[in-house]
Amino acid sequence: MAGQAAGAPKVFPARDAQYIGGKWRPAAADARIDVVAPATGQVIGRVPAGDARDVDAAVRAARAALPGWAATAPAERAARLAAARDLMAAGRAEIAATVSAELGAPPAFATAVHADLPIRVMGSFATLAAEYAFEEKIGNSRVFQEPVGVVGAITPWNYPLHQIVAKAAPALAVGCTVVLKPAEDTPLVAQWLAAVLDEAGLPAGVFNLVTGLGPVAGQALAEHPEVDLVSFTGSTAVGRRIGAVAGGAVKRVALELGGKSANVILPGADLARAVNVGVANVFANSGQTCSAWTRMLVDAARYEEAVELAAAAAAKYVPGERLGPVVSAKQRERVRGYIRRGVEEGARIVAGGPEAPEGMTAGYYVRPTVFADVRPEMAIAQEEIFGPVVVLIRYEDEEDALRIANGTVYGLAGAVWGADEESAVAFARRMETGQVDINGGRFNPLAPFGGYKQSGVGRELGAHGLAEYLQTKSLQF
């Protein structure tokens, strides 16, 4: 399995079963979900379309396992996560091959990001599980951090393993039990992880997996009365519904939702580097990144130069080579629809366009697209497209740039480029967003990730992500 024999990496085969109570068991219903390879449009596997009966069985298994796992020493929980991390590292090639097949990510990107990042995150929570202060003394009180209980995790397809690990690893680290409903487009790597966690020695019922459709299995999980916290990553529209359900039940919720992040290039910044890194940020993962810097803001004096640089950078992203497909035919049409809408609104295409990429007769490919002459109020500057589309917006001065940067309902991420770190940080501190990269700062999997405004509630990763799955008790003496 995770440590299979040397040779060409293989895609993890689909299992026609749900992982519940430590066993692979038949689904309650006969319905199945086709897993389609975005690069070819061909079916590569089928998994169960679970329903409320599967969810209920999984939640009951998680509830039964909760007392024992919550009482397990943090060092032992850490050891199980470390074992999972080691198995994941041994199966790195299999992760990459599986994600390449079901998501369409180019192999190099699948290895460097879709495999290596979740391996690193799993390891970080193994360390935190052993080191975290679950108890402290405050005056005449002892304050305890205890697991919130059964966690329902609902994850998206764009980073299919990372998003699962970012929820399951901290929940397991603190003593919660988990029921996972992965995205129906990318269930294979989720099944792979379930097998790994089983091999790592997690007790039966501590981690459970139900594949199924969002409006069926996902809704059943969010609504289940025995789920104590729902952690969801996906669209803001669905997040609102989950938040409403959780609020009605007075249930904890963590929501990582949409984004329309600004890449602000201040006067005096290294324009060529800022533009090239900005384009790369958007086109990575075929634009299917909630935190992508999809709005590039450039001062009027250097705007046309930035447009030329962005168009040249986009030319390097050849569909089928450096640029993979989007996840589905539905997503492809959504992205192309936004490109057409941008033209209708008066924006100028300087690279790409809504037409199919030349010579690409199969697969869900979109031409990498750059828009110029974009006004802040246009749909392509306000709404999350989730494809390889970047828009360039002109600003007059820093106050104008700040107004534009903060002028959406989202606040997930962003970037600021300045002539010096001090000026970039000063601007970033005024941005209404949860995470900002300064002059090309690298992603840090130990730093809190999450958004302001309609980009979500709560944080993932590191100690802040761990805290989402804890509740506080104080004893007075």
Same-domain status, 221 and 89:
yes
The pLDDT score that the predictor gives to residue 9 is 75
* Tens-digit pLDDT profile for residues 216-258: 999 999 999 999 999 999 999 999 999 999 889 999 999 999 9
376 in a domain, yes or no? yes
Same-domain status, 437 and 339:
yes
Confidence of residue 7 (pLDDT cuts 50, 70, 90): low
Alpha-carbon distance 58 to 73, whole Å? 24
Please state the rounded mean pLDDT for residues 355-370: 94
1 in a domain, yes or no? no
The pLDDT score that the predictor gives to residue 188 is 98
Q: Which two tokens stand for residue 235?
A: 């669209």
Same-domain status, 425 and 468:
no
Amino acid at position 283, single letter:
F
Same-domain status, 270 and 351:
yes
Same-domain status, 78 and 201:
yes
Alpha-carbon distance 152 to 220, whole Å? 10
Instruction: Return the CATH number at 301.
Output: 3.40.309.10
Q: Which residues contact 367 (CB under 8 A, 6 or more apart)?
A: 319, 352, 353, 354, 355, 356, 357, 388
6 in a domain, yes or no? no
4 in a domain, yes or no? no
* Tens-digit pLDDT profile for residues 191-216: 999 999 999 999 999 999 999 999 99
Tell which residue, 405, 413, 391, 401, has the closest CA to residue 268. Answer: 401
Same-domain status, 403 and 272:
yes
Domain that holds residue 301: 262-444
Please state, as a whole number, how many other Cβ atoms lie within 10 Å of the Cβ of residue 348: 13
Kindly tell me if the per-residue pLDDT of 2 is higher than 50: no
- Element (DSSP H or E) covering residue 41: none
* Tens-digit pLDDT profile for residues 125-159: 999 999 999 999 999 999 999 999 999 999 999 99
Average pLDDT in the chain: 96
Kindly tell me if the per-residue pLDDT of 4 is higher than 70: no
The pLDDT score that the predictor gives to residue 3 is 41
Tell which residue, 262, 261, 264, 259, has the closest CA to residue 426. Answer: 264
202 in a domain, yes or no? yes
Same-domain status, 73 and 106:
yes
Q: In the chain, what percentage of residues exceed pLDDT 90?
A: 97
Same-domain status, 275 and 229:
no
Kindly tell me if the per-residue pLDDT of 6 is higher than 60: no
Same-domain status, 278 and 353:
yes
The pLDDT score that the predictor gives to residue 256 is 97
Report how many domains make up the chain: 2
Please state the rounded mean pLDDT for residues 354-382: 96
**Cβ contact 151:174 at 8 Å:** no
* Tens-digit pLDDT profile for residues 96-108: 999 999 999 999 9
Kindly tell me if the per-residue pLDDT of 77 is higher than 80: yes
* Tens-digit pLDDT profile for residues 184-195: 999 999 999 999
Please state the rounded mean pLDDT for residues 459-465: 98
The pLDDT score that the predictor gives to residue 8 is 62
Q: Which two tokens stand for residue 437?
A: 């990269």
Same-domain status, 131 and 235:
yes
Q: Which residues contact 5 (CB under 8 A, 6 or more apart)?
A: none
Same-domain status, 62 and 194:
yes
Which amino acids are annotated catalytic?
256, 290
Please state the rounded mean pLDDT for residues 371-392: 98
Query: How does strand 348-351 pair with strand 135-138?
Result: unpaired
How is residue 460 annotated by DSSP?
B
The pLDDT score that the predictor gives to residue 361 is 86
Report the 3 state secondary structure along 164-233.
HHHHHHHHHHHCCEEEEECCCCCCHHHHHHHHHHHHCCCCCCCEEECCCCHHHHHHHHHHCCCCCEEEEE
Instruction: Return the CATH number at 137.
Output: 3.40.605.10
Same-domain status, 197 and 284:
no
